[in-house]
């Protein structure tokens, strides 16, 4: 960190800042220029109190970071791309994966039918919510344990690894008994206690961006997980809440490009939640592949008109099959290969 002193500082002010820096466990290196004086504080911030507390000192003008605050997920610390291994597949190694399945598990016939369809079309993982955090307490909240059992049956039949959401800490063990990837949804993206708890499972984690989270907040949420020793994190851009109402959310593809440039982690895109409209999903999927994403999270339902949640954004199996064909040229243009079962 770089501590910038105000122009009117004194020699005693410099000594005071140096002393405070040492008290916090850092080594100060003072640089006195013709106009300004700065103190470079050298040390690992991950195990010390933040130097920002020194802003209360009257002689300090500002404190600027030198390194990224998301140190462990940055390319500065880990220049090689992370490859997340899920059963017999690799995510982040140049293959482009598509996760398909319904928003929520509604019945055995619904999920098994959809699982067969998405696998036949080329999906490499199956998604489906057993637990559903909904805005209204009166909306369908998922089948819970019953939904997990159906997901387990679908994996046994199709061989597709399971991606499903963890909503509460008490549910972690139950979800871990079935899920191959633990999903953290937008509403829990900054629930730091939950992030640390899922990190401790050692399972791969698909971390969605928060409803109105900045890119920095999204990457720092990933830092919470990696700091616990679990580097198996997949970032997922799913659109953010803006003033625009033509779509459910605003898909921020610049965030995908930045995350790929700044971090070592694989990045997926969820165009279904971003658009909130099934008729935009294929086009947004093409754009996501073109900008360098490592995969997609697509909602698919055999009868979206009667879905218990988010029917308007779910593709029918025939549309999903078309999506898988349409995205391939864009995947290849970005230097990746479309993964197959």
Q: Read off the pLDDT of residues 307-327 as tens digits, 9 standing for 90 and up.
A: 999 999 999 999 999 999 999
Alpha helical stretches, state H, the chain: 11-23, 108-121, 145-158, 172-176, 192-199, 215-227, 253-262, 271-275, 278-290, 317-333
Confidence category of residue 118, pLDDT binned at 50, 70, 90:
very high
Domain segments of the chain: what residues? 2-64, 84-338
**3-state class (DSSP) for residue 324:** helix
Collapsing DSSP to helix, strand or coil, 137 comes out as coil
Query: Per-residue pLDDT for 34 more than 80?
Result: no
User: What pLDDT, on a 0 to 100 scale, did the predictor assign at position 64?
Assistant: 84
Q: Which two tokens stand for residue 48?
A: 């010390």
Task: Tell me, yes or no, if the two domains 2-64 and 84-338 fold the same way.
Answer: no
Token digits for 337?
Answer: 């290969």
In angstroms, the CA 187 to CA 310 distance is 16
Q: Which CATH architecture has domain 2-64?
A: 2-Layer Sandwich (3.30)
% pLDDT > 90, the chain: 84
Q: What is the pLDDT of residues 38-90, one digit of tens each?
A: 998 888 776 678 888 999 999 999 998 766 778 889 988 888 999 999 999 99
Q: What's residue 314's pLDDT?
A: 97
Length of the chain (residues): 341
Q: Give the integer Cα–Cα distance in Å for 236 and 273.
A: 11
pLDDT at 46: 65
* pLDDT tens string 138-173: 888 889 999 999 999 999 999 999 999 999 999 999
pLDDT digits (tens, 9 = 90+) for 160-207: 999 999 999 999 999 999 999 999 999 999 999 999 999 999 999 999
pLDDT of 76 reads 81
Task: Report the CATH fold assignment for 84-338.
Answer: TIM Barrel (3.20.20)
Mean local confidence (pLDDT), 126-143? 90
Mean pLDDT of 33-41: 86
């Amino acid at each position: 960190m770089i501590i910038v002193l105000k122009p009117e500082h004194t020699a005693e002010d410099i000594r005071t800042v140096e002393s405070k820096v040492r008290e916090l466990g850092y080594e100060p290196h003072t640089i006195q220029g013709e106009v300004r004086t700065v103190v470079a504080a050298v040390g690992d911030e991950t195990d010390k109190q933040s130097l920002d507390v020194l802003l209360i000192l009257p002689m300090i003008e500002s404190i600027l970071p030198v390194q990224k605050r998301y140190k462990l997920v940055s390319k500065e610390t880990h220049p090689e791309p992370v490859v997340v291994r899920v059963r017999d597949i690799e995510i982040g190694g140049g293959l482009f994966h598509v996760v398909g399945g319904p928003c929520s598990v509604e019945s055995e016939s619904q999920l098994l039918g959809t699982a067969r369809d998405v696998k036949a079309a080329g999906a490499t993982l199956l998604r489906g919510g057993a637990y559903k955090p909904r805005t209204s307490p009166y909306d369908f909240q998922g089948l819970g344990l019953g939904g997990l059992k159906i997901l387990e049956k679908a994996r046994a039949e199709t061989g597709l690894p399971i991606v499903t959401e963890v909503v509460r800490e008490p549910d972690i063990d139950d979800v871990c008994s079935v899920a191959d990837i633990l999903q953290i949804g937008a509403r829990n993206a900054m629930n730091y206690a939950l992030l640390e708890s899922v990190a401790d499972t050692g399972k791969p984690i698909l971390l969605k961006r928060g409803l109105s989270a900045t890119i920095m907040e999204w990457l720092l949420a990933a830092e919470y997980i990696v700091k616990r020793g679990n580097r198996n994190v997949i970032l997922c851009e799913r659109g953010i809440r803006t003033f625009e109402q033509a779509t459910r959310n605003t898909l921020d593809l610049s965030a995908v490009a930045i995350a790929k440039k700044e971090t070592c982690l694989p990045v997926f895109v969820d165009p279904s939640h971003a658009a909130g409209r099934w008729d935009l999903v294929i086009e947004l999927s093409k754009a996501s592949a073109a900008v360098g994403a490592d995969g997609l999270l697509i909602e698919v339902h055999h009868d979206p008109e009667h879905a218990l949640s988010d029917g308007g954004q779910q593709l029918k199996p025939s549309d999903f099959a078309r999506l898988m064909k349409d995205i391939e040229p864009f995947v290849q243009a970005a230097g990746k290969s479309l993964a197959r079962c």
